[in-house]
Amino acid sequence: MIRADLHLHTTYSSDSSIQPKTLVEKLVAHDFIKVAAVTDHDTVSGYNAIRQLAAAYPDILIIPGAEISTPNGDIVVLGAEEMPPQPWTVASVVDFARDTDCVSVVVHPYREWGMGDLARNYKFDAVEVLNGASPPSANKLARDLAKLMGLPGVAGSDAHQPAELCTVYTEIQASLDVDEVLKAVKKGLVTVPPPRKSIHF
Ligand SMILES: [Zn+2]
């Protein structure tokens, strides 16, 4: 079993101050979170740089991805090493994820940039049921949505500053391998423990 922060931003997002090196150092030093998905806004550019830095440490894993802005709300695509063709709509991004063996996640559905109940109309692979930057009420609604849609729930810090990294995490029944992690999420082999300080759950 591995523990992963499945939503965070690096300096490849214009609104984040987390240097790639800082992310790698955080995972190396962390007692039990050894996996992170890099989900910058509308770009996958950070992944190669971060993967190279991480390659020196066999006990950590970086998962490629992006948080894609659509007119109806944000979608995280886990596993993406390239961006989907534009224009980005909910349907086109979900289709892209399915066709490229990636994982589509409805993120923070009940706060700003979230798509709310509209998510029910699309074949997502998972719902972000715990977002480190969302209030408890929004995370509760996201958990209800996952239940309603019969989808696995995942957690991500949505960190934009170093101190926000790894505040929440997803437990995944997989080893340190990107494909295994993606397949496990799709199969629902995931658990989201409440955060230690239950401020966001
Ligand atoms: Zn985000």
User: In angstroms, what is the span from residue 73 Cα to ligand 1's centroid?
Assistant: 11
User: In angstroms, what is the span from residue 44 Cα to ligand 1's centroid?
Assistant: 13
Interval 2-55: pLDDT, tens: 999 999 999 999 999 999 999 999 999 999 999 999 999 999 998 988 999 999
Nearest to 136 by CA among 78, 58, 195: 195
**Neighbour order of strands in the sheet with 61-63:** 61-63, 35-37, 2-5, 170-172, 190-191
Interval 124-137: pLDDT, tens: 999 999 999 999 99
Q: For residue 67, list its beta bridge partners.
A: 41, 76
User: In angstroms, what is the span from residue 13 Cα to ligand 1's centroid?
Assistant: 9
pTM across the whole model = 0.95
199: Cβ–Cβ under 8 A, 6 or more apart, which residues? 136
Before 87, cis peptide (omega within 30)?
Answer: yes
pLDDT value at 199 more than 70: no
